[in-house]
Structure 1
Amino acid sequence: MDTAEIRRRFLAHFEAAGHAVVPSASLLADDPNLLFVNAGMVPFKPYFLGQETPPYDRATSVQKCIRTPDIEDVGKTTRHGTFFEMCGNFSFGDYFKEGAIELAWTLITKPVEDGGFGLEVDRLYPSVLAGDDEAIELWMKVTGLPRERIVQLGNKENYWSMGVPGPGGPCSEILYDRGPDFGPDFDPTTLGPDMPFELEDRLLEIWNLVFMQDDLSAVRSKSDFDIAGSLPKKNIDTGMGLDRVALLLQGKKNMYEIDVMYGVIAKAEEMTGKSYGDDPGDDVRFRVIADHVRSSMMLIGDGVTPGNDGRGYVLRRLLRRAVRSMRLLGCEDRVLPELMPVSRDVMGQTYDNLLTDWARISQVAFAEEDAFRKTLQAGTQIFDTAATEVKQSGGSALSGERAFALHDTYGFPIDLTLEMAAEAGLSVDEQGFRGLMAEQRERAKADARAKKGAHGDTAVYRGIFDEHGPTEWLAYETLETESRPLALLSGGASVPRLAQGEIGEVVLDRTPFYAESGGQVADAGTIVFDGGQLEVIDVQRPVKGLVVHQVRVLDGELDASSRVHARVDPEWRIGARQAHSGTHVVHAALREVLGPTALQSGSYNRPGYLRLDFGWTQALSPEQVRDIELVSQQALRADLAVSWDYMTLDQAKDWGAIALFGETYDNTKVRVVEIGGPWSRELCGGTHVDHSSQIGTVVVTGETSVGSGNRRIEALTGVEGFGYLARERDVVSQLTTLLKTQPDDIVERVQGLTERLRAAEKELEKARLAQLLGASADLAAGATQVGPVKVVAHRADGAGGGDVRNLAMDVRGRLPQGEPGVVVIIGNADGKVSVVAATNDEARSRGLSAGDLVKAVGPLLGGKGGGKDDVAQGGGTDASRIDEALALVASEVGRVAVQA
């Protein structure tokens, strides 16, 4: 049974049982604690937390997921990968334990010809939380299995929570016995509290049923928490691993051999000439390639672009590990153009955006591979230098610090470092490297824990929401309202009043203020009350539906009983509307000039300013930037109507509306903003002008890179745009006056002046060099005799490094032929001391080394240097000891010459 059919049967089974079929959400989680959606329940999290009322009592989905805690372990086991699909069914206060057990058991044991999966009952072992006698009795009742077939495990295996205060509950896993080829025999009655490691492949977990019934007040770890009480409604959250069920129903040994994975391995075999199954080390690489190619493609499909932190860094690691693994298998050519289309063709049957958006996806992926190939080239040079230094010092191992720097700073994989070190006859301090990697991971985990801890801070806001409901939000309708405070907060805690000068938070029953979202900054303005005034400095939605104003008390003292008047600064709002509508106009112009693959990946706009990030792999030409600005200005001149409407997400997509990558949307109602009809249609919750001409102007001020495959355009709108142009006009006016020319001739005049200046500088440089070298003959003729050696030790004030070297080389060439000669010139310019030493063949035959001389005088000059025996150079900062250093030269030459 292919994977698509398993997916179809799962959804059909639960739809027939009254579940709403919910499409997969984006991989990009709308959650400060998560980089990616890592479980099927994540999109339903607001319902489980009580932040939102679910639109259905029961639902089912097949959710795209990414888990990346230990990317380096991918492929080492055959049941874990980074991307996976989680089939789930959910009950929000509807059915509970018995219903969940019955629905799951029916599907997996029902014969294939009747629409089920047909798994053999004698191979299935339910597990429960030890002591959950209710679950044991229900499993026996529903399945007819004897008690001894039901495995009891501890909290680590069979208790679920989100890792923070909130809902939790015991679990039941459905385990499938794959037989003695996959592990030792076992007695189910003796297992627990943890599943033995040696049985994890044999007793394969295929489905986890979470009985969400507890309200947790503290979660210290997966197995250590406090239960404050019971949830008001008991919920069900289940997850069936699609890949795991597929490997069972397709008779495969592991998830990498199923239909949606093995095609990439087969292509990699063809490209490398190696066979999967011949070598355990190669098999791990094949599995890494299959997993990472698919995961990378799915991430790019949902709008992630490679970068140096966050989601972008994860994607970069996945792509580069795939390319690196192909290299280790012997293929050094470009590989993603061959491998990724194989994954696209099978995954695109379910996720059609992979097909319709392939031009952009492939552009991002292939550009990252090309960048990595350059990195490999540069990293190889850095490695060669490090290896040479190790050998010259008599060592035999590359330090952990060097290996970590290659990995962390230059993106050079440790496996490649190990491979190249072995070829060079060196080892690598892997323990030191792993220790530094562990420290880095711990820092990342600490940061994640800090972020996760912030999630608990929303409890106070959830309490306000539960008591008062959502804020009546009027930002689209008006700029001012009469309101009353529902809560006053200071330092995250509720307070009875806010005093003059204090900064705190105010929750109003109704507000005209726009809360920061969708790239648009929050409104500015004031909240006035009898005897006082508040300055609004930020507006946020910490809990969906609840608007919170951060304020500074300018006058008076505000208490919760006050009536207030909330007023948005009208100038601020019009500037914000111009910038946000301007962002849509620039985005549409961008796609018109560059093509439909140039899609926005992020934005930021404040009054008078906009910033738009978009996926693109190369810098725009000046002509392209001018064209984007011109198309934008033409849209303003056309006075295009700006309108918005509400519809379902599916209707919006059918209408051609563009959704911003990384944003999550409610499928029941989204807001679509259009400018000029189909010319610009985007999902957006921001504030906008009524006609494009009201934007005033769009002036592009910059186009830069913000990471591999991502560019940024910045522009000014409205009064700020006109101000920028006015300043440019003033500069042109001043130049025309200064140059006594017309504006159209300024560029030509400046070019002419620049060329004349460069020519004059070249002539001056020639004259200066001639003057400097003119002293060479006198210096050579005045050489001091130190034993058998002619020595020139000269101070050249005003000469920099290049001049000092030229002078030293010229003087050496003028010394008498056949006699040993040494030249040391020390220059002093711009507060820097430069020293160059040069020796001829005869001097070197007597043991005199230019490198040794520079090393000898370097410390006196407050610096260091070195080089070869014939020429060496160095520098320093202490010009006061130049004469002392020159005297040392003669001393050193005499000492060595006498010894010779």
Structure 2
Amino acid sequence: MQTHEIRERFTDHFVKAGHEAVPSASLILEDPDLLFVNAGMVPFKPYFLGEQNPPFKNGTATSIQKCVRTLDIDEVGITTRHNTFFQMAGNFSFGQYFKEGAIKHAWALLTNPVSEGGYGLDPERLWVTVYLDDDEAADIWENVVGIPAERIQRLGMADNYWHMGVPGPCGPCSEIYFDRGPEHGAEGGPAVDDTRYLEIWNLVFMEKERGKSTGPDTFEIIGDLPKKNIDTGMGVERVACLLQGVDNVYETDLLRPVIDAAEEITGAKYEGDGPDAIRFRVIADHSRTGMMLILDGVTPSNEGRGYILRRLLRRIIRSARLLGATGETMERFMTVIMDTMTPSYPEIAENRERIIRTAVTEERAFLKTLESGTHRFDEAASAIKEQGITQFSGEDAFTLHDTYGFPLDLTLEMAAEAGLEVDVAGFEAAMSEQRARAKADNLAKKHGHADVSVYREWVDNNPTEFVGFSDLTADATVLGLVINGQSVTQAVEGDDVEVILDVSPLYAESGGQTADRGRLVSEGTILEVNDVQKVGKKLWVHKAKVTAGGIELGQRVSAEVDEAWRHGARQAHTGTHLIHAALREVLGPTAVQAGSLNRPGYLRFDFNYTEQLTPEQLEEISTIANQAVDADFPVNTIETTLDEAKKMGAMALFGENYGNDVRVVEIGGPFSIELCGGTHTEHTSQIGPVAVLGESSVGSGARRIEAYSGMDSFRYLSKEAALASGLAASLKAPSEELPERIASLTEKLRAAEKEIANLHRQQLASQTGALLDQAVEAGQFTVLTHRLPDGVSGGDLRTVATDLRGRLAGKPGVVVLASADGGKLPFIVGATKEAIELGVKSGELVKLLSGYVDGRGGGKPDMAQGSGSNAEGLDAGFRAVREELAGL
């Protein structure tokens, strides 16, 4: 039975049982706890928590959810059980049926004959586990379903108590296992051997809410969920193994074709469980996961989701090379996996070109660095082994990362293959500045788990009525007040407070558009609203400061939007649609939106594209957008169903989880039609001029266009015109000749700088011989420590140090030089062959000197460099180096 049919049978079974079929959500959801959707229940979490009422007519649903788990990336291929991407088929009940219903549904599908829509599994080969004290579930299995007591096993919290790994819904569970036979392991059920007894379905009795972890497998139980729910997960890939009669998921109809393609490309054979077999499995698994991530809008980058994708693709590339591939392989792998997955995910077909281009671009970029980086690794590893050392230095690992683009995990893999460990602590120290910047960036993006339990009483009982599409003021009643995460009854002047209203005209931040600013006013009371956020997609939370009077529950207020703010935001948001339409006209339909930001007067638009735009393309995009402004197109909004919107050709944003009812924004008929919940101008002429500032890279395969709109655009263009006029006057040239005149001056300046640099090097070279007169004896060594004049670069230091070391050849000599250059203090240590034979390691001396000048550095025994910031410690550092050498 093919995997596509397994999926169809699952959905049909539960639809016939009254469940509503729900399509898989994107792998990327707005959940601060999760990088990717990692379980079938994740899209339903608000319903389990009681934050929202489930929109399903019978209170039940079924889905086959795309999932990615990345904690086991290093285990992929080593075992045949770990996969980064998998499909979780599930049925869900929100306060309807509970344990008995879930158990009966699962048993029927698994054991019903194939002719009756089931999977036809032998009931005598099915075992189950239940939580330690779950007598109710055990009784249902034995006395309702009829499984003998000896095939029902009780396990502890680590095995039979399900949770997401983070605070959220949880509960005891019952797992269903299939006995694959004695050739796969020992008898005794899943408690004895969970390889022979393969878990295929987990029935979670979702009734509790967990808090933070208190130990490896323990956590605080906050309390009961509002209702007793059912969340089940059947592993589609595992069932496919059983129904297709194969040993593991790599032999199924989805992944085996990729392995076959890899055999053809590399000339190697997939057999056994050795290193080559592991590489074949890595290629197959990562090709599928990478393809699905690209499908859902992820592009390779150096952080977050993009880093995971980059890591997966680079592991494919390197595995293929180690198997014998000599050219590009990614297009073939992506084509094969798209062919196997398209029957289940038809949207792959319309994204094939984009998926291939993203993967191939990453491959080409990595191949450029892989060969040189591998050569650098091999050199360093050989030098380490020659010295009898088993640890690859953190400095070398950082060099591979910083210079060759090697992520640490790739260095770890290569080091393990070479029998070496990596000084991870040293690498982390070298990366500390980058990590600090990333941490600050994450905080700025408001990442992290937020406790929204305080809002629950309003989310479903009092969702906010948004009237801001038509009105900028509205009379409203204060339903709730929150200060520092606690519900309160009043707030007074000076308080920062979150206000929940029954009606609001203020736009809550979403879809890339920033929130409205405005005021809440009543007699003697003024609150300045500086932000509006959504909770559960239904509740508007107005973040405000009480600037006069006070506010209390039940009070009537006038909610007012700052008209100037809204006008600027509407201009920017509508301008973004024009930029998007112009972009697709110039670059084609594969330039897919990857995110946006709109605030009054400013917009930025991210899109998936692998090449830098030319000045001509940017100018054309700007022209098309402003022609649309000049055409005064009407901007129409249409509320319709999601299916109808797709039929109209409306574009959707990757990662957005749209409901059944959507809002379509149409500009100029076919010129632009998109799903969008933002605020817009009535006509394009109201946007004013759109000034494109430029475009830039925001990661591999992702670009960003930035622009001004309205008066901000006018001010920018006026400033640019004034600047050009001033330059023309200074250079005594017409403005149209400025580019040529400036290019000529720049070329002359570069030539002058080059000449000065050459003269500088000649001057240094002429002084080299004289510097040796300052060398002193330190124990067995001739040592020169000297601070060169300010302004000598690190490159020039190396040139001088190499010359001086050559002049000391034949004796144990060490050269230590430094210079202040632009606020930094580059320094270098060089040692002759004779000094190295006596135990000198330039890298160790650089580390010693670094401690005195607040710096860092590293290198090989014969030459090592570093940079510091504290020139006052240089003399003490020189003295410490001489003392260290004297003691050898």
Task: Give the TM-score normalised by structure 2.
Answer: 0.83
Q: 2:367 aligns with which of 330, 351, 373?
A: 373
**What is the rounded CA distance, in whole Å, between the counterparts of 1:184 and 1:593 in structure 2?**
63
CA shift, 1:760, in A, is 6.9
**What is the rounded CA distance, in whole Å, between the counterparts of 2:296 and 2:271 in structure 1?**
33
**What is the rounded CA distance, in whole Å, between the counterparts of 1:92 and 1:832 in structure 2?**
63
Which residue number corresponds to residue 810 of structure 2? none
Alignment of 1:120-269 (within 5 A): 120-163=122-165, 167-186=169-188, 195-196=190-191, 199-214=193-208, 220=214, 224=218, 231-269=225-263
Larger Rg: 1
Residues 41, 231 of structure 2: 8 Å contact kept? yes
- The 3-state SS of whatever aligns with 1:567 is strand
CA shift, 1:102, in A, is 1.8
1:501 correspondence with 2:503: no
Which residue number corresponds to residue 491 of structure 1? 484
CA shift, 1:370, in A, is 1.6
1:738 correspondence with 2:730: yes
Amino acid at match of 1:55: F
- The 3-state SS of whatever aligns with 1:370 is helix
CA shift, 1:879, in A, is 12
Which residue number corresponds to residue 682 of structure 1? 674
Amino acid at match of 1:733: S
Q: Note the alpha carbon deviations across 1:711-747, whole angstroms, 9 max, x for none.
A: 1111000000000000011112222333334322333
CA shift, 1:46, in A, is 1.9
Which residue number corresponds to residue 300 of structure 2? 306
Cα distance change of structure 1 residues 434 and 44 upon mapping to structure 2, 3 Å threshold: farther
- The 3-state SS of whatever aligns with 1:199 is coil
Q: 1:714 aligns with which of 683, 706, 714?
A: 706
Residues 299, 309 of structure 2: 8 Å contact kept? yes
Q: How many residues align?
A: 842
CA shift, 1:581, in A, is 0.7
Which residue number corresponds to residue 286 of structure 1? 280
Which residue number corresponds to residue 348 of structure 1? 342
Q: Note the alpha carbon deviations across 1:688-720, whole angstroms, 9 max, x for none.
A: 111111110111112111111111111000000
Which residue number corresponds to residue 273 of structure 1? 267
Which residue number corresponds to residue 191 of structure 1? none
**What is the rounded CA distance, in whole Å, between the counterparts of 1:76 and 1:869 in structure 2?**
37
Cα distance change of structure 1 residues 259 and 501 upon mapping to structure 2, 3 Å threshold: same
Amino acid at match of 1:563: R
Q: Note the alpha carbon deviations across 1:394-449, whole angstroms, 9 max, x for none.
A: 343233635754776542565666657877xxx41269689989x99x9999x999
CA shift, 1:170, in A, is 2.5
**What is the rounded CA distance, in whole Å, between the counterparts of 1:795 and 1:32 in structure 2?**
51
Cα distance change of structure 1 residues 486 and 184 upon mapping to structure 2, 3 Å threshold: same
CA shift, 1:833, in A, is 10
1:603 correspondence with 2:592: no
CA shift, 1:661, in A, is 1.3
Which stretches in structure 1 are left out of the alignment for 5+ residues? 189-194, 787-792, 816-822, 839-843, 845-850, 886-900
Residues 574, 684 of structure 2: 8 Å contact kept? yes
Which residue number corresponds to residue 533 of structure 1? 526
Q: 2:105 aligns with which of 79, 103, 106?
A: 103
Residues 418, 428 of structure 1: 8 Å contact kept? no
Cα distance change of structure 1 residues 13 and 406 upon mapping to structure 2, 3 Å threshold: farther
Which residue number corresponds to residue 779 of structure 2? none
Q: Note the alpha carbon deviations across 1:457-502, whole angstroms, 9 max, x for none.
A: 1000113335x42012112121111222112211111223222222
Amino acid at match of 1:271: I
Residues 387, 421 of structure 1: 8 Å contact kept? no
Q: Note the alpha carbon deviations across 1:283-311, whole angstroms, 9 max, x for none.
A: 22221211110010011001111112221
CA shift, 1:131, in A, is 3.0
Q: Note the alpha carbon deviations across 1:345-367, whole angstroms, 9 max, x for none.
A: 01011212212111111111111
Which residue number corresponds to residue 322 of structure 2? 328
RMSD (Å), alpha carbons: 4.9
Q: 2:578 aligns with which of 582, 585, 595?
A: 585
Residues 794, 825 of structure 1: 8 Å contact kept? yes
Cα distance change of structure 1 residues 415 and 621 upon mapping to structure 2, 3 Å threshold: closer
Cα distance change of structure 1 residues 448 and 180 upon mapping to structure 2, 3 Å threshold: farther
**What is the rounded CA distance, in whole Å, between the counterparts of 1:709 and 1:867 in structure 2?**
34
Which residue number corresponds to residue 118 of structure 1? 120
CA shift, 1:201, in A, is 1.0
CA shift, 1:218, in A, is 7.4
**What is the rounded CA distance, in whole Å, between the counterparts of 1:834 and 1:21 in structure 2?**
64
Amino acid at match of 2:406: G
Farther-moved stretch of structure 1 (284-293 vs 648-657): 648-657
- The 3-state SS of whatever aligns with 1:484 is strand
Q: 2:685 aligns with which of 684, 693, 699?
A: 693
Q: Note the alpha carbon deviations across 1:215-253, whole angstroms, 9 max, x for none.
A: 667775696456676555332221111111110011101
Which residue number corresponds to residue 36 of structure 1? 36
Q: 1:548 aligns with which of 541, 545, 560?
A: 541
**What is the rounded CA distance, in whole Å, between the counterparts of 1:759 and 1:162 in structure 2?**
62
Amino acid at match of 1:656: G
- The 3-state SS of whatever aligns with 2:475 is strand
Which residue number corresponds to residue 56 of structure 2? 55
Alignment of 1:385-534 (within 5 A): 386-387=380-381, 390=384, 394-399=387-392, 401=394, 405=398, 410-412=405-407, 427-429=419-421, 455=449, 457-466=451-460, 468-534=461-527
Cα distance change of structure 1 residues 50 and 742 upon mapping to structure 2, 3 Å threshold: same
Amino acid at match of 1:584: H
**What is the rounded CA distance, in whole Å, between the counterparts of 1:836 and 1:210 in structure 2?**
62
Alignment of 1:708-787 (within 5 A): 708-754=700-746
**What is the rounded CA distance, in whole Å, between the counterparts of 1:453 and 1:800 in structure 2?**
43
CA shift, 1:18, in A, is 1.9
- The 3-state SS of whatever aligns with 1:11 is helix
Amino acid at match of 1:233: K
Residues 530, 562 of structure 1: 8 Å contact kept? no
Amino acid at match of 1:476: F
Residues 164, 456 of structure 1: 8 Å contact kept? no
Q: 2:662 aligns with which of 655, 663, 670?
A: 670
Alignment of 1:599-638 (within 5 A): 599-638=592-631
Residues 404, 433 of structure 1: 8 Å contact kept? no
**What is the rounded CA distance, in whole Å, between the counterparts of 1:237 and 1:268 in structure 2?**
38
Cα distance change of structure 1 residues 504 and 826 upon mapping to structure 2, 3 Å threshold: closer
CA shift, 1:809, in A, is 12
Q: Note the alpha carbon deviations across 1:514-552, whole angstroms, 9 max, x for none.
A: 111111111111112222311111110133211111112
Cα distance change of structure 1 residues 121 and 380 upon mapping to structure 2, 3 Å threshold: same
Q: 1:86 aligns with which of 85, 88, 94?
A: 88
Cα distance change of structure 1 residues 578 and 805 upon mapping to structure 2, 3 Å threshold: closer
Q: Note the alpha carbon deviations across 1:134-155, whole angstroms, 9 max, x for none.
A: 2223223443333333222223
**What is the rounded CA distance, in whole Å, between the counterparts of 2:728 and 2:669 in structure 1?**
44
Q: Note the alpha carbon deviations across 1:340-396, whole angstroms, 9 max, x for none.
A: 21111010112122121111111111111122222323422542453365367x343
Task: Give the TM-score normalised by structure 1.
Answer: 0.82
**What is the rounded CA distance, in whole Å, between the counterparts of 2:129 and 2:819 in structure 1?**
81
Which residue number corresponds to residue 705 of structure 1? 697
Which residue number corresponds to residue 15 of structure 1? 15
CA shift, 1:832, in A, is 9.9
CA shift, 1:837, in A, is 14
Which residue number corresponds to residue 818 of structure 1? none
- The 3-state SS of whatever aligns with 1:59 is strand
Which residue number corresponds to residue 895 of structure 1? none
Residues 499, 553 of structure 1: 8 Å contact kept? yes
Which residue number corresponds to residue 6 of structure 2? 6
Residues 530, 563 of structure 1: 8 Å contact kept? no
Residues 162, 172 of structure 2: 8 Å contact kept? yes
